[in-house]
Amino acid sequence: MAFLLADSFQASLEKLNGDEQKAAKLAAFELQINPANPGLQCHRLDNIKDKNFWSARASRDIRLIFHRVEGSVMLCYVGHHDPLLRLGLASQDRNPSCNRPGPDR
C-alpha cells in the first residue's frame, strides 16, 4: 500500500509543539505499519461529502486526518481536536459522565 504525505500535513505538523509532533509522527508510523491498531481509534468522517476521509487519534487532543482509497493512504492534516471539530473533521461524541469529548467512534 502506498503511504503518502500531503504538503498540508507537513505544514500543519510544523505548527505543533515538540511533544505533539512526536505523538503525530508515532501515530503516522503506526498507521502505516498497522492501520487496524485499536489505539488509533480510526473512524470515517461522516459529515463531509468524500467518504474516503478518516480520522486517527495521535493523543488525547491530536488527530490525524487522512484519505484512504484502495491501495493508498494519504496523510492530509494533523491538529488539535477542537479546531478540527469546528471544521467538521473530528468526532462530536461526548462522554456523558463528565460532558467531555469522548473517544472517537
Q: What is the reported pLDDT for 47?
A: 80
Q: Which domain holds residue 65?
A: 2-101
Neighbours of 20 (CB within 10 A): 18
Global pTM value = 0.79
74 vs 86, residue with greater confidence? 74
Position 17 pLDDT exceeds 60: yes
Q: What is the mean pLDDT of residues 43-56?
A: 90
Helix (H) or strand (E) holding 19: helix 18-33
pLDDT at residue number 82: 79
The CATH number that applies at residue 36 is 3.30.2310.20
Instruction: Count up the domains in the chain and report the number.
Output: 1
Residues 78, 56: Cα–Cα separation, whole Å: 9
Tally helices (H) and strands (E) across the chain.
3, 7
pLDDT of 35 higher than 80: yes
